[in-house]
Amino acid sequence: MPLPGPKAAALVKRDSAYVSPSYTRDYPFVMARGEGAVVEDVDGNVFLDCAAGIAVTSTGHAHPEVVRAITEQAQKFLHMSGTDFYYEPQVRLAEEMAAMVPVGGGTGQVRSFFSNSGTEANEAAIKLARYHTKRFNIIAFLGSFHGRTLGSLAATSSKYVQRRGFGPMMPGVYHAPYANCYRCPLGLKSESCAAECLSFVEDQILVHLVSPDEVAAVLVEPIQGEGGYVVPPAQFLQRLRELTSQHGMLMIVDEVQSGMGRTGRMFASEHFGLDADIVTIAKGVASGMPLGVTASRADVMTWPPGAHASTFGGNPVSAAAALATIRVLRDGLVRNAEVVGEYLFGSLRALMDKHQIIGDVRGMGLMIGVELVRDRVTKERATIERDRIVQLMFHKGVLILGAGRNAIRFAPSLVLTKDQADTIVKLFDESLTEVTANPRA
């Protein structure tokens, strides 16, 4: 049927009267149910979900093992506040994090603080870095997204609309260019871009703006998410690690979107041989239940009782969902993300021969970005075209979203099959053809 259907249209109208207008809705999809990588709206229309609730439903919609874990825990107790009392799901989850998070050189000497979201995980990381180092300042990167609460918002620089009207920002945050070698922020050639972006930190920020011994931490995404699914060269992150170690700064790695198997490894940091001081996790960690994790070296997380807390953080139902999620990821979904991700990546790259509007295809696992341009030489951003393609994909039966100013993100659940990937690519191909054949429509 034409979209939205009557039931969806009615609910969208009700929403517009009572729900905050700050929410971003690209198209009128109204969820009714889902299974795996397939979802159905309230009118019975079926879609392939290539967004996964913003890279959240890592094990797919309503994975039976995750649902079973949630149900079993809910029948015992829903809440007891891990801030004030103890319960096994939270302790078990902390043990799992210590065993797998790329912190502390694999020693297992890791502690975790639990919250409810990615922005809360990053807020905790910023506070912890300041507390541990007794320093004030933070270095982040242009194009980054770390959350919308005021501390993490100060580090965020993805889109001005996220910051506009909320100033002044938390002081002490400095932004450096991120190593986007397809579109070098310093106007350099790709082979020197990564080195020069680091030189900007060393020779500009740490010379003209802030003393190195007053920087608490560097906060970085190993793959930029909202900034356009940008994959930096390994040397960029490795040299950044050396820089932080040299000056006694902590390195906070934001794995909120790139973690929990999405890149074909449990954490994107593993692709780069990156060992952080603090790692922040959320989104896919509990398959859709609200949970944030701030994991750090044990010798860093030494703040005393009452220094930081959360009433709902580490909720027992969310912790149970996370434990089930980790089991399912280890039992095959991380590997599936690698295999199907490589297949999807190759299929999207092949479209470059047919569609000049594709400027770049980049990513790891099932975290893939396709950047659209009007000219491959000038790299003029195809922003309007990107938005039209997102709409076309919806009307063809695929939920997909943009990333950055002119990229499209492919971030399905990690249960995606090759057949489903073929369908997504076929409909993407059709959408590209329609938009380029009639660019002014």
What residue segments make up the domains of the chain, in order of their start? 6-62+332-437, 67-329
Q: 256 has which bridge partners?
A: none
What is the pTM assigned to this prediction?
Answer: 0.95
Q: What is the pLDDT of residue 189?
A: 66
Q: How far is CA 425 from CA 50, 72, 283, 311, 390, in A?
A: 11, 39, 25, 44, 13
Per-position pLDDT tens, the chain of length 441? 899 999 999 999 999 999 999 999 999 999 999 999 999 999 999 999 999 999 999 999 999 999 999 999 999 999 999 999 999 999 999 999 999 999 988 788 999 999 999 999 999 999 999 999 999 999 999 999 999 999 999 999 998 999 999 989 999 999 999 999 898 877 666 666 666 788 899 999 999 999 999 999 999 999 999 999 999 999 999 999 999 999 999 999 999 999 999 999 999 999 999 999 999 999 999 999 999 999 999 999 999 999 999 999 999 999 999 999 999 999 999 999 999 999 999 999 999 999 999 999 999 999 999 999 999 999 999 999 999 999 999 999 999 999 999 999 999 999 999 999 999 999 999 999 999 998 766
> What pLDDT was estimated at residue 192?
63
Per-residue confidence (pLDDT) for residue 196, from 0 to 100? 78
Quick one: pLDDT at residue 142?
A: 95
Sign of the C-alpha dihedral computed for residues 17, 18, 19 and 20 taken in this order: positive
Amino acid 312: pLDDT: 96
**Nearest Cα residue to 390 out of 401, 406, 404:** 401
Helix (H, G, I), strand (E, B) or coil at 312: coil
Place of tokens 């949630």: 70
Tokens 């070296």 label which residue? Answer: 297
Provide the CATH topology of domain 67-329.
Aspartate Aminotransferase; domain 2 (3.40.640)
Provide the 8-state DSSP code for 223.
S
Question: Measured between alpha carbons, how far is 373 from 356 in angstroms, rounded to an integer?
Answer: 8
| Spatial separation of the C-alpha atoms in residues 16 and 404, rounded to whole Å | 26
Same fold, 6-62+332-437 and 67-329: no
Query: How far apart, in whole angstroms, are the C-alpha atoms of residue 8 and residue 421?
Result: 27
pLDDT of residue 190: 61
Predicted local confidence at residue 357, as pLDDT: 98
- Give the residue from 265, 252, 188, 256 showing the smallest Cα distance to 227: 256
Q: Which residues of 188-219 are buried (b: 16+ CB within 10 A; e: fewer)?
A: eeeeebbebbbeebeeebbeeebebeebbbbb
| Whole-number pLDDT of residue 1 | 85
For the domain spanning 6-62+332-437, the CATH number is 3.90.1150.10
